[in-house]
């Protein structure tokens, strides 16, 4: 059902007045609020694809490096988004979904200002314990890791987290925002995102295996709120979310190399503080206009 559709007067119907202009069709690649059709199917498929991959791999290859399984399973949200979109909207819908990667007029600097804030929070969570004498900086390891940052960023953007964004932000968030407030939508997505990672906590060799799950849930909530703001201010674009997601993962990795303590209480607290700052500044709207209509 379409909300906010214009009504036509029979005396001015386009068929009787050829020069009358028909209502423009909204660009589906720019929608930030969509009716929640297919949302349950999306989550079911995303979890099924990822969890099956992460369950099978350690049983087929016990003791092996889990990286291939983590990478393959991370495509679950993207695969689910494509399948559900194809089933509900056909080829045109899939095309619009992938056009969310377009960079044209996607919010200017605002999405990246939020990205800069959360990166400063992660950097601060590494610097503060060193300044207070609670941690020792491994300068040699940090210098070595910094040399590979461009490669790390590219790999993570393509297959190490950034690839999830077409599903989480490109498909799921607009539909959640079509049924709930921006804050509620992002909190729900953050919890779902954290639970989606759950099998990795039982897989030796993953970064999650060294993190307490409650801390991880809070971290995911804070990051999701920030990514929600990035997506909304980028006018439905996912490239800014991909860049932000990849930058967060790279920064967290550098922090782990430099001072250890993944998802430390300080990191969780500072990330949540950034999320709270965005919520206060936007009065809970996270960059979503109040007059945005539900499409689809």
213-230: pLDDT as tens digits: 999 999 999 999 999 999
Please indicate, yes or no, if residue 296 is contained in any of the structural domains: no
Please indicate, yes or no, if residue 230 is contained in any of the structural domains: yes
pLDDT digits 0-9 by tens, 67-77 = 999 999 999 99
Please indicate, yes or no, if residue 11 is contained in any of the structural domains: no
Range of the domain at 75: 28-281
Number of domains observed in the structure of the chain = 1
Please indicate, yes or no, if residue 1 is contained in any of the structural domains: no
Please indicate, yes or no, if residue 12 is contained in any of the structural domains: no
Please indicate, yes or no, if residue 2 is contained in any of the structural domains: no
Please indicate, yes or no, if residue 5 is contained in any of the structural domains: no
Structure tokens at 165: 């964004």
Is residue 181 scored above 60 in pLDDT? Answer: yes
Determine contact, residues 100/166, Cβ cutoff 8 Å: yes
pLDDT of residue 103: 86
pLDDT digits 0-9 by tens, 84-95 = 999 999 999 999
Overall average pLDDT of the 179-186 stretch: 97
pTM (2 d.p.): 0.90
pLDDT digits 0-9 by tens, 94-117 = 999 999 999 888 899 999 999 999
| Three-class secondary structure of residue 204 per DSSP | coil
Q: Helices 213-233 and 182-196: crossing angle, nearest 10°?
A: 130
Please indicate, yes or no, if residue 16 is contained in any of the structural domains: no
Question: How many angstroms separate the CA atoms of 139 and 125, rounded?
Answer: 16
DSSP 19-80: TSPPPPPP-GGG-S-B--TTHHHHHHHHHHHHHHHHHHHHHHSTTS-SHHHHHHHTTHHHHH
């Amino acid at each position: 059902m379409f909300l906010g559709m214009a009504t036509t007067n029979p005396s001015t119907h386009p068929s009787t007045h050829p020069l009358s202009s028909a209502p423009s069709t909204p660009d589906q690649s720019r929608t930030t609020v969509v009716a929640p059709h297919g949302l349950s199917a999306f989550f079911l498929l995303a979890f099924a694809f990822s969890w099956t991959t992460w369950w099978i791999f350690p049983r087929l290859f016990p003791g092996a490096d889990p990286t291939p399984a983590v990478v393959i399973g991370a495509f679950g949200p993207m695969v689910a988004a494509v399948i559900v979109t194809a089933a509900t909207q056909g080829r045109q819908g899939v095309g619009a979904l992938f056009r969310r990667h377009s960079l044209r007029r996607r919010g200017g600097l605002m999405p990246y200002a939020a990205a800069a804030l959360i990166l400063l929070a992660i950097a601060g969570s590494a610097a503060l314990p060193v300044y207070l004498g609670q941690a020792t900086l491994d300068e040699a390891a940090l210098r070595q890791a910094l040399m590979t940052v461009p490669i790390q960023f590219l790999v993570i953007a393509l297959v190490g987290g950034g690839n999830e964004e077409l599903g989480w932000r490109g498909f799921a968030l607009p539909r959640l925002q079509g049924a709930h407030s921006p804050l509620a939508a992002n909190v729900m997505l953050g919890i779902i995102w954290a639970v989606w990672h759950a099998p990795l906590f039982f897989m030796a060799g993953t970064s999650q295996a060294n993190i307490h799950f409650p801390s991880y849930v809070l971290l995911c909530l804070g990051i999701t709120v920030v990514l929600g703001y990035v997506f909304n201010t980028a006018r439905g674009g996912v490239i800014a979310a991909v860049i932000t997601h990849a930058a967060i993962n790279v920064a967290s990795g550098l922090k782990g190399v430099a001072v250890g303590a993944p998802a430390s209480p300080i990191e969780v607290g500072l990330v949540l503080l950034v999320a709270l700052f965005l919520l206060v500044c936007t009065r809970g709207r996270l960059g979503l206009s109040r007059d945005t209509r539900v499409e689809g």
